Amino acid sequence: MIYASRSVPPSAIRVLGVVSSRRGAVCRYSTSPNPPHFNHTSYELSTEDKFEIMEVCHRFDHVLNLGQQERLGSFFSSDAVVNIDMSNPKVPLRAVKGVQPILEYFQSVKQMAAGNRHLTCNIVVEPDGLRAAKVTAYRLLHKAQNPPVLLAAGMIEDKLVNENGEWKFAVRNFIMDPPAPTMI
């Protein structure tokens, strides 16, 4: 319901845009003749959205750590892209596009991943357009032993989209730190 002052005629009210969320939509109005810019395609993430997105990131690691790469397809949108940058001049950037090629990639590194733990931490979730979210996080890979041996570290930059009420990876960028210099 819109409440307006009697001193403001309806013709003076301008709709700036609609912000949608899982709980509905909110219209933004202004009586200013020159209203401020408003992003018409923004999406406000609810606390529930953010929790579900972080849960997707953690479940992905859990499935990978269990060696169940065949289950990873359900985490990706149909047109997903995974970019792997090992920050090593000997290993070029690799882009894998589509759910089946992504599954094949993770199956190809299954043996190498066995006995390792993938950890995603310090996750930051932000809205990224309509029904999408941007995630940045730190990525650690260590050998599953006590004490753990750090194998690699880096960042993850993700874009997730909400498809039929489920958050899925549309883009995953693995950006690993360069190897430390060799001590002589």
Q: Is residue 51 part of a domain?
A: yes
Phi, psi of 22 (to 5 degrees): -65, -25
- 121-157 per-position pLDDT tens digit: 999 999 998 889 999 999 999 998 899 899 889 999 9
- The answer as to whether 182 is a domain residue is no
Q: Which domain holds residue 139?
A: 47-176
Domain presence at residue 183: no
Predicted local confidence at residue 13, as pLDDT:
54
Exposure letters 118-156 (e unless 16+ CB within 10 A, then b): bebeebebebbeebbbbbebebbbbeeeeeeeeebebbb
CATH code where residue 156 lies: 3.10.450.50
Residue 184 lies in a domain: no
Which strand (E) or helix (H) includes residue 101?
helix 99-108
Does residue 112 fall inside a structural domain? yes
Looking at the structure, do residues 31 and 61 belong to the same domain, yes or no?
no
2-17: average pLDDT: 53
The mean pLDDT of the chain is 81
Model's pTM, two decimal places?
0.73
- From residue 74, alpha-carbon distances to 129, 135, 160 in Å are 22, 18, 13
Whether 147 and 59 share a structural domain: yes
User: What mean pLDDT is predicted for residues 39-48?
Assistant: 72
